Amino acid sequence: MASYLEKAKEAMNQFDTVTIIQVPRAENTNADALARLATGLEERLLKTVPIEILEEPSIDKPEQVGSIVVRPCWMDPIVSFLRDGTLPADKFEARRLRFRSALFIWKNIVCRFGVPRKLVSDHGTQFENEKLQSICD
């Protein structure tokens, strides 16, 4: 319990202000059930409160961070075209990309949400090109 208290104090030092309030037992049945478990295992509690016995304290485990691997996606050329107007050098591929981009906008924006009166983005340049602005005007 002391190591958990130490971790809590370390976490509290990272905040500007900390407020600790006591929740009445009647309003916190989960904590009440855990307190009863700590004082002694009652038969009726074993049926209602799942118990997991840890082989080692969870506080000693290192933090795990999930990594994300970004791979090339079929949407990358479309996003690049819509954002920057970047087209492949090959005329056929450029025409195909323009068609796929228009189809993408039609299926994923217009058919789902209707013709937009205004496009709102996160200050990105995905929708800043003359063709899209002429559609919206």
- What's the pLDDT at 91? 92
pLDDT of residue 43: 60
CB 132 within 8 A of CB 82: yes
Alpha-carbon distance 33 to 31, whole Å?
A: 5
Q: Which regions in the chain score pLDDT beneath 50?
A: none
pLDDT value at residue 45: 55
The pLDDT value recorded for residue 96 is: 93
Q: What is residue 124's predicted lDDT score, i.e. its pLDDT?
A: 65
Q: How far is it, in rounded angstroms, from Cα 43 to Cα 80?
A: 63
Give phi and psi for 89, each to the nearest 5.
Answer: -70, -35
**Residue 40: per-residue pLDDT:** 63
> What pLDDT is recorded for position 64?
72
Q: What distances in angstroms separate CA 117 from CA 34, 87, 96, 107, one per listed residue?
A: 55, 27, 27, 17
Residue 45: alpha-carbon gap to chain centroid: 35
Q: Where are the alpha helices (DSSP H) in 14-127?
A: 29-39, 43-48, 76-84, 91-105, 111-113
Q: Give me the pLDDT at residue 115, please.
A: 77
Write down the pLDDT at residue 137: 62
Predicted pLDDT of residue 56: 76
